[in-house]
């Protein structure tokens, strides 16, 4: 099973003497239990390891005998990064050297931020500071589009753009 969000794990068991409880564990660590039907437990997959995780459901009868079953769930990150262009502001007039400043964040981590001007890739940034000094002297007068694209370590991406005018 592939998951990318919260999930409810449900266990079902019967016993000729009666059930005491059902325990739920993830990767060998007990995370909860249920004592009445329906036997279920909520798991936030964002708190699980990326990739395969083993979820085990173990039922105990009134004499403390037990039986268990497990399933492997593959947790995938589908949440895109959040990105914004902090400088310059949309609609502003630019000239000379102009600092383009980007903010990008993600629940897992940012792999790269790319800055495009009028569709042309100007730089790819992989550190924690996302800035580019644009020399507008070589740009024609008029409106220009600045596009910033953030890609997270899972390959999800988000982009934003603004327009500025060069005088």
What average pLDDT does range 3-7 have in this prediction? 68
User: What Cα–Cα distance (Å) separates residue 120 from each residue in 114, 129, 142, 146, 148?
Assistant: 10, 21, 16, 9, 11
pLDDT for 157 beyond 80: yes
CA 159, CA 145: separation in Å to the nearest integer?
Answer: 13
Q: Which residues of 6-23 are buried (b: 16+ CB within 10 A; e: fewer)?
A: ebebebebeeeeebbbbb
Give the pLDDT of residue 11: 79
What is the predicted pLDDT for the residue at 2? 61
Q: What is the pLDDT of residue 167?
A: 86
Closest residue by Cα to residue 96 from 144, 123, 134, 142: 134
Calculate mean pLDDT across residues 12-30: 90
Q: Count other Cβ atoms within 10 Å, centred on residue 118.
A: 12
- Reply yes or no on whether the pLDDT at 59 is more than 80: yes
DSSP 116: E
pLDDT tens-digit series, residues 80-111: 999 999 999 999 999 999 999 999 999 889 99
What percent of the chain is modeled with pLDDT above 90?
A: 63
How many CB atoms sit inside 10 A of residue 149's CB?
A: 20
Average pLDDT over residues 31-36: 86
User: Rounded to an integer, what distance in angstroms lies between the CA atom of residue 84 and that of residue 48?
Assistant: 28
Which pLDDT score is estimated for 115?
98
Plot region of 122 (φ>0 → left; ψ -120 to 50 → alpha; else → beta): alpha
């Amino acid at each position: 099973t592939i998951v990318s969000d919260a999930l409810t794990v449900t266990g079902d068991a019967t016993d000729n003497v009666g059930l005491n409880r059902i325990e739920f564990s993830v990767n060998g660590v007990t995370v909860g239990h249920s004592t009445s039907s329906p036997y279920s437990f909520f798991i936030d997959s964002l708190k699980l390891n990326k990739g395969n995780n083993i979820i085990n459901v173990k039922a105990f009868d009134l004499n403390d005998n037990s039986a268990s079953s497990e399933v492997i769930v593959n947790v995938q990150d589908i949440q895109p990064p959040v990105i914004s262009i902090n400088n310059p502001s949309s609609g502003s007039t630019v000239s000379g050297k102009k600092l383009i400043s980007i903010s990008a964040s993600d629940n897992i981590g940012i792999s790269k931020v790319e800055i495009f001007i009028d569709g042309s890739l100007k730089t790819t940034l992989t550190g924690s500071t996302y800035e580019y000094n644009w020399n507008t002297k070589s740009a024609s007068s008029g409106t220009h589009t600045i596009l910033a694209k953030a890609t997270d370590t899972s390959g999800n991406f988000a982009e934003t753009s603004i327009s500025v005018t060069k005088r």
